[in-house]
Structure 1
Amino acid sequence: MSSTKPLFLLLFLFMFSAVANAQEFGTLRGFVTDSTSSEALAYGNVFIKELGKGASTDSRGYFIIPSIPSNRNFTLIVSYVGYRTKEIQIRISPNKVTQYNIELIPSGVELQTIEKIGEKVFEKNETDISLQRLVIRDLEALPKGVETDIFRSLQYLPGVQSTGDVSARFYVRGGASNQNLVLIDGITLYNPFHALGLFSVVDPDMINNAEFYKGGFSADLGGRLSSVLSINTKDGNKNRMGAKATVSFLTVKALAEGPLPSGSFIMTGRKSYSNQIIKKFLNEQNAPVDFYDFSFKANYSNPDFIQGAKFLINGFFSGDKIINQDPRVEDFDWSNGLFGFKWFQVGDSPLFYELGFSYSSFNGKVIPKSSNVRNRDNKVEDLGIQMDFTYMFENRDEIGVGFHIKELKTELFLENAQAIPINLGKKGTNIVFYSKYKFMQWDRLGLDAGIRYNLSNLSKNPSAFNMEPRVNLTFRINPIISLKGAWGIYKQELTTITNENEVINIFEPWLIVPDYLLPSKSTHYIGGIKFNFSDNFMVDLETYYKKTDDVPMLNQDKTFSTDPDFISTNNESYGAELFSKITLGSVKFTTSYSYSHSYREFNKKRYYPKYDIRHSLNLVLEIDFGYGWSFNSAWVYNSGLPFTQIVGYYDKYYFQNLFGNWYDFDSRKPYSVLGVQNLGRLPQYHRLDFNLSKKLFIYDYNFTVDFSIINVYNRKNIFYFKRDSGERVNMLPILPTLTVKFEI
């Protein structure tokens, strides 16, 4: 506790260091939106020409600039990638908040012109570390494969690993996939994958923007150890009704949107109709997968009702089924559901707040073909309330406070070896208070210090820790070079049951950590340097060290009923990441490289997790030719993944009694003897993909045709060796795909 006292003192000193409003100054705020749909334009630039100061829009398109001299005329310049820059004359009232809402016109309305490519210019003392902001344009500019997919797009970033073509699951800086928090409009999504993990459940047509933290996230985010992916969905077109239909080799989907009285709506639906592509991903194995997802959102904003208020409701549902024809193989069924309500309020002062209610559920089943065997069922129910308040002072400092309340219940029904049904269910309440302060008044220094305090835990272990302090720091040496660093403690009280020896885990049930174990605790250390050589060329280098204690793992050595189901392990990971981006007119080239180490330790034994990749390199080229034509290509290289080698085989015999009066020989394939866990390394992996896209206007209708080739030179990347025969199984071969999108 004593170690956190200096942080408390620092936090409260900053809270009272803000100066009082001067009479001759005022504050500018507003929203930046698309003129054709009124959708928010996230992460755009708002700049006051005469003062040389500005701000960037947040995920809602909202911006605020304090300390502007009043009763004077200024030129406000608003710019956004792919939109025409707009200049307007503004005048700020003294001692008041003046609001200007700005609409930008897309620069690509005429397809005969090459859309202007520019990059987001962040504030000089931006405090977000290890953060990647994404908009839908970023996702569509990457090679699509079968479909645009946000999770697969993340795998082009440094520090994000995957285990190959067959899974959209991602692993961040040595953390397991269950240590990643996925939020849709602030609501937790527990199973974000379709089709054995091949694709994400989030329809990209529903996404407005996303924020992806690889570590060092601030005190308002928590509950996971490694990363946070916060997806913000579209509001829907406020100006006119619209519809869109898309057909690919895998799915058919539709979108509808349009205005409502003082608001708008949007809804999307997607359904699989072919298993041929999935069979390609699974090396021609028959996997009769059927899935769907459905999303909706509506908003209401009426100044005659409540000035500055916006109300949102949203929902999401998805389902997957695997029906195996083999009577000996189990079937699988799992589904997600979530619903949310949010009230976003901008007051007459530089205060804004959000109040939200949410419900999220997950239900997974393993259905045996035998009527005498009980289903294995996993259920998660998550009921939450959020209250977040943010205030900006005239000197640009910010303070944020909030309460998050979560009522969570997990259940796992199964049968033990004696066919006795058991329920590993548990429920609990997590109440969190957080406070953070952003010190932004100096142009060269940015500091975000915060504390996340758990007033109530899901775990009933009396030794569970409650305090999660965090600090982010940036320092600009000169206009080109900036230093950055972050430190923080993170806590997780949920886990999944994952068999480390399986190549693919189809059923990974969620559970609250048992009371006999401590919640997992991870400490992040991050340092880096960023070079902004120009608006079109940047290089970002980060190093990290992450130590994680008390990570639950399934007890593979359990022999007796009194042995625990889970044991605690410790993880350690460290590495360096390089990310560069250069833009030359309509050509953009990005490079990301990762060097990483990760290992897990228990019972004084150490081994590498299956996602430990020493070297990873991604090269992405994007070209906009104009006239509706665009091209993108990506080359991916990874050093070999760890795997457990087969050291021998044996035949299995069944004895009648201890004296072995007679025995029966198992005529099936021999059983394998495995060596030291993950001691071997698979060969290196590399692959080239490309995508060619064409936009068409035909009789006032919009068409987009995408032609893609995955694994252009048909590299035979190894997936795994079969345990029963040692036979090599490869990943995805060369695969051309075609997607057609129709919009009215």
Structure 2
Amino acid sequence: MTATIIILGLVASQTCHIVGQVLDVVEMRPVAGAHVLAADAGTTTDESGRFELTLPETPSARLTISHIGYEAKALTATPGPLPRPVLLRPRPIALPEVEVRPGPARPTGTHELSGPAIRRIPGAEKDILRAVQSLPGVSSTGDFFGWLYVRGGTPGENLFLLDGVEMPDPYHYAGLASVFNTALVEEVRLSTGGFGPDRGDRTASVLEVTTRPPRPGRRGRCGVDLTEVEAAAEFGTAGGDGFIAALRHCYLDLLLGRLDLGDGYILPTYTDFQLTARARPAPGLALNAGLLSTRESARAGDSSHWRAPGITLASRGTSGGLKLAWQPSGAARLSFQLSGIDRRQDFEVRDSLGENIRRHWPRNIRAGVLGHLIAAPGWLVEAGGSLASVAYRHESTLPLELLDPMRWGDTCVADIGFRQGDAWARVSRDVLPRLQVSAGARLDARSLDPGAVASPRLQARWQAGASTSLRTAWGIYRQFAAPEHRNADSLALAQPGAARARHLIFGLEQDLPAGITARLDLYDKRLDRLVVVRDGAFTADGTGSARGLELGLTRRQGVITWQGSYAWSRARRSWLHGLEPVPTDGEQPHILNLSGAGRLPGKIDASARLRWSSGAPYTPEVHYYENHCIPGEYNSARYPAYFRLDLRLARRFAIGGHGLDLWLSVLNATNARNVQSWYHDADGTRRAIWMLPRLPMLGLAWEF
């Protein structure tokens, strides 16, 4: 250890650091992405216009600071902070004439998050699905679950894509965390409704995760915090070829096992390995490959409210994809993608009768093709399709009344194989100078269901002014019933086909002074042909509806950035035939999200996130008789309102040309008492399972 400290001290003594900020001299706002160059090094400014340049030890250095659209500025600086900000003067530049080509109208209700931004969100703890819960239209049911309820939908009605590969179950056990590693993520895009015909077999939302290209050179990263350890390595060329590999392991079971959280808490652990590679073997030809392998296990301690005193789960899965893209000219693109998914789950309950095991293996192999063509000036034609072969195996030896809602019987083995295909087309056109329209349709077919279903969709965008845009979307969205939602004897439903949702959405976006953007979204959804239970069998005659309003304000530029949103919603489903519609599990009529970030003295980055929401609905237990709770009306009661404030401080140190990141997060900083659920003791006394208490999280990462 002594030798290591001496070596680091020698390295640090041979370098110096120059720290400063670049501002626009007219508007006095930060200039992000400005180039700061010296004779032996260079860097760029961040979103707040700040930079830190590491140089060989020198009494002074000549810096050149430049950015497109500004006059370059040269100055002499000494090591340490600059005495004042660097002011750049705007300079209009003449650009060559370019041809503007149409693209699909961006649907209203679309939100983007970058990978680095997700890693900095307080309380998300680098998890994509928890970060997305801060977006308008998204609700959750507690601190321990990352399930997404989007605009009145259920978790199973969301489509998850990783570089275009469908991820049917992107959660670790019970939605505790996602399988996506943010070290490889470039962007996350969530479409909360009104998405185009290229996305199908889901009725609520689409979440697309795009991995980033490798950076030039050889790089590595390793880090550790209170819940997991991670490591990543990457190699890239200047042309964009290379690979990124990342590994992470969670030991949350060790942490929670030492906290006094009460009975019934799940103690999970998981390990993920993710690899992405890119190559450009020829001009106009690109080859991308990806692999994701996950393993997880969890157990629940003894608790009086569990019917079985011990529950364990083990799961492992592998997903991979290969994409070949060819662009023979600027007017046409063609891509082919092959993907495969293999996942196995073991659910084991130990009770006085012995061991009961439930196994579930879905396998999915899919091939797809996508084409883009500029058919004529001002026109964009897109078309695509895919074909999948799915194998599904299910074993059940669980007692029917315990954890088997599928009614396979006390002992059952079922093998299901089916094929699924889709085809879609879309045409986009600038019908007026400021009006863009995209119209398309999708055709889905499944061998388990007779016939095919068509889904028309329409999107439009009108640029009402330089800072005002209006968007609208309408469409029909369908989702086939999963194998576990079918009757075991015939694999059929009383009314075959796919669940159907009709989306109607209006959106307004307005740019305000000081870099603030305001958004307003209104939506109305009508659902039918939902799978429900009638007379002990599954049938597809359920209905539902959802409507809501979402308001958002965002400031992404400046020394302090912030965003806030308010959402009102009402969602109802008729889960049981003949009964009145009831609130959905994730319905929270009022949700308020606030977050902000800035830099404190000492180059410390500070951020905060606050969330308040109405309580989620639940089914009360109205009577207790002979050690059994008698439930009341479904989702007829609500938990108390939810409140949580998360804080985060982070500092980056430059050591010998490398980077050391330290951060401290405080989850539930006010130690609010949020109820996760209720349960009853043997004497009928109701007790609460609480969500997370105040929990500090400390982490560090070394980049080299």
TM-score normalised per structure 2:
0.79
Matches within 5 A, 1:661-740: 670-724=627-681, 725-740=685-700
Matches within 5 A, 1:312-331: 312-323=288-299, 328-331=309-312
The match for 2:389 among 374, 395, 407 is: 407
- Provide the rounded CA distance (Å) in 2 between the counterparts of 1:134 and 1:484: 20
> Percent identity, aligned pairs only?
21
SS of residue in 1 equivalent to 2:567: strand
Matched-pair contact (CA < 8 Å) for 2:35–2:45: no
CA, structure 1 residues 258+284, in 2 after alignment: closer, same or farther (shift >3 Å)?
farther
SS of residue in 1 equivalent to 2:203: coil
SS of residue in 2 equivalent to 1:477: strand
1:375 counterpart = 2:357: yes
The corresponding residue for 1:452 is 442
CA, structure 1 residues 248+315, in 2 after alignment: closer, same or farther (shift >3 Å)?
same
SS of residue in 2 equivalent to 1:302: strand
The corresponding residue for 1:480 is 467
The corresponding residue for 2:140 is 162
For structure 2, list consecutive stretches of 5 or more residues without a partner in the other structure: 1-29, 37-41, 54-80, 88-100, 303-307, 401-408
Structure 1 residue 533 displacement after superposition: 2.4
The corresponding residue for 2:318 is 337
The match for 2:34 among 79, 84, 89 is: 84
CA, structure 1 residues 123+164, in 2 after alignment: closer, same or farther (shift >3 Å)?
farther
Matched-pair contact (CA < 8 Å) for 1:513–1:552: no
- Provide the rounded CA distance (Å) in 1 between the counterparts of 2:86 and 2:202: 39
Matched-pair contact (CA < 8 Å) for 1:158–1:593: yes
CA, structure 1 residues 138+323, in 2 after alignment: closer, same or farther (shift >3 Å)?
closer
**1:308-331: CA deviation from partner (whole Å, max 9, x where unpaired):** 111111100111112456694232
Structure 1 residue 277 displacement after superposition: 4.2
The corresponding residue for 2:558 is 585
1:248 counterpart = 2:225: yes
1:433 counterpart = 2:423: yes
Matched-pair contact (CA < 8 Å) for 2:503–2:526: yes
The match for 2:342 among 336, 361, 366 is: 361
- Provide the rounded CA distance (Å) in 1 between the counterparts of 2:293 and 2:217: 26
- Provide the rounded CA distance (Å) in 1 between the counterparts of 2:365 and 2:552: 38
The corresponding residue for 1:197 is 175
The match for 2:590 among 603, 611, 615 is: 615
Matched-pair contact (CA < 8 Å) for 1:165–1:732: yes
Q: Which amino acid aligns with 2:561?
A: K
Matches within 5 A, 1:504-653: 514=493, 517-534=496-513, 536-553=515-532, 555=533, 563-565=536-538, 568-583=541-556, 585-601=558-574, 602-625=577-600, 628-651=603-626
The corresponding residue for 1:152 is 130
Structure 1 residue 696 displacement after superposition: 0.8
Runs of 4 or more, structure 1, over 6 Å off, are 113-116, 122-125
Structure 1 residue 443 displacement after superposition: 3.6
**1:120-165: CA deviation from partner (whole Å, max 9, x where unpaired):** xx999953222112212331342145x2111111111110000121
**1:274-301: CA deviation from partner (whole Å, max 9, x where unpaired):** 4254456965755342211100011111
- Provide the rounded CA distance (Å) in 1 between the counterparts of 2:427 and 2:31: 30
CA, structure 1 residues 139+274, in 2 after alignment: closer, same or farther (shift >3 Å)?
closer
The match for 1:298 among 264, 277, 285 is: 277
- Provide the rounded CA distance (Å) in 1 between the counterparts of 2:492 and 2:588: 28
SS of residue in 1 equivalent to 2:183: helix
Q: Which amino acid aligns with 1:446?
A: Q
TM-score normalised per structure 1:
0.75
The corresponding residue for 2:245 is 267
Matched-pair contact (CA < 8 Å) for 1:550–1:570: yes
Structure 1 residue 338 displacement after superposition: 0.6
- Provide the rounded CA distance (Å) in 1 between the counterparts of 2:393 and 2:513: 54
- Provide the rounded CA distance (Å) in 2 between the counterparts of 1:441 and 1:344: 30
Matches within 5 A, 1:179-218: 179-218=157-196
SS of residue in 2 equivalent to 1:440: strand
CA, structure 1 residues 178+193, in 2 after alignment: closer, same or farther (shift >3 Å)?
same
- Provide the rounded CA distance (Å) in 1 between the counterparts of 2:432 and 2:689: 57
Matches within 5 A, 1:268-283: 268-278=246-256
For structure 1, list consecutive stretches of 5 or more residues without a partner in the other structure: 1-79, 87-102, 117-121, 499-508, 652-669
Structure 1 residue 624 displacement after superposition: 3.4
Structure 1 residue 236 displacement after superposition: 2.0
SS of residue in 2 equivalent to 1:471: strand
- Provide the rounded CA distance (Å) in 2 between the counterparts of 1:401 and 1:115: 49
CA, structure 1 residues 282+574, in 2 after alignment: closer, same or farther (shift >3 Å)?
farther
Deviates more, 1:728-737 or 1:385-394: 385-394
Matched-pair contact (CA < 8 Å) for 1:687–1:715: yes
SS of residue in 1 equivalent to 2:266: coil
CA, structure 1 residues 328+723, in 2 after alignment: closer, same or farther (shift >3 Å)?
closer
SS of residue in 2 equivalent to 1:466: strand
Matches within 5 A, 1:8-23: none
CA, structure 1 residues 489+723, in 2 after alignment: closer, same or farther (shift >3 Å)?
farther
- Provide the rounded CA distance (Å) in 1 between the counterparts of 2:661 and 2:263: 30
The corresponding residue for 1:398 is 380
- Provide the rounded CA distance (Å) in 1 between the counterparts of 2:212 and 2:107: 24
Q: Which amino acid aligns with 1:466?
A: V
**1:495-519: CA deviation from partner (whole Å, max 9, x where unpaired):** 3869xxxxxxxxxx9x997585431
Structure 1 residue 361 displacement after superposition: 2.1
**1:587-625: CA deviation from partner (whole Å, max 9, x where unpaired):** 112111110001111314221122111000001111134
CA, structure 1 residues 393+138, in 2 after alignment: closer, same or farther (shift >3 Å)?
farther
Matched-pair contact (CA < 8 Å) for 1:313–1:341: yes
Q: Which amino acid aligns with 1:692?
A: L
Q: Which amino acid aligns with 2:380?
A: E
- Provide the rounded CA distance (Å) in 2 between the counterparts of 1:617 and 1:110: 36
- Provide the rounded CA distance (Å) in 2 between the counterparts of 1:639 and 1:255: 40
Q: Which amino acid aligns with 2:33?
A: Y
Aligned length: 601
CA, structure 1 residues 677+432, in 2 after alignment: closer, same or farther (shift >3 Å)?
same
CA, structure 1 residues 648+677, in 2 after alignment: closer, same or farther (shift >3 Å)?
same
Structure 1 residue 714 displacement after superposition: 0.9
Matched-pair contact (CA < 8 Å) for 1:377–1:412: yes
- Provide the rounded CA distance (Å) in 1 between the counterparts of 2:673 and 2:652: 33
The corresponding residue for 1:47 is none
- Provide the rounded CA distance (Å) in 2 between the counterparts of 1:583 and 1:341: 35
Matched-pair contact (CA < 8 Å) for 1:437–1:449: yes
**1:176-209: CA deviation from partner (whole Å, max 9, x where unpaired):** 0000111111111122122432211111111111
Structure 1 residue 407 displacement after superposition: 1.5
Pairwise CA RMSD of aligned residues?
3.1
The corresponding residue for 2:200 is 222
- Provide the rounded CA distance (Å) in 2 between the counterparts of 1:361 and 1:621: 40
Structure 1 residue 473 displacement after superposition: 0.9
Q: Which amino acid aligns with 2:332?
A: L
- Provide the rounded CA distance (Å) in 1 between the counterparts of 2:263 and 2:126: 23
The corresponding residue for 2:19 is none
Q: Which amino acid aligns with 2:455?
A: E
CA, structure 1 residues 420+578, in 2 after alignment: closer, same or farther (shift >3 Å)?
closer
The corresponding residue for 1:469 is 456
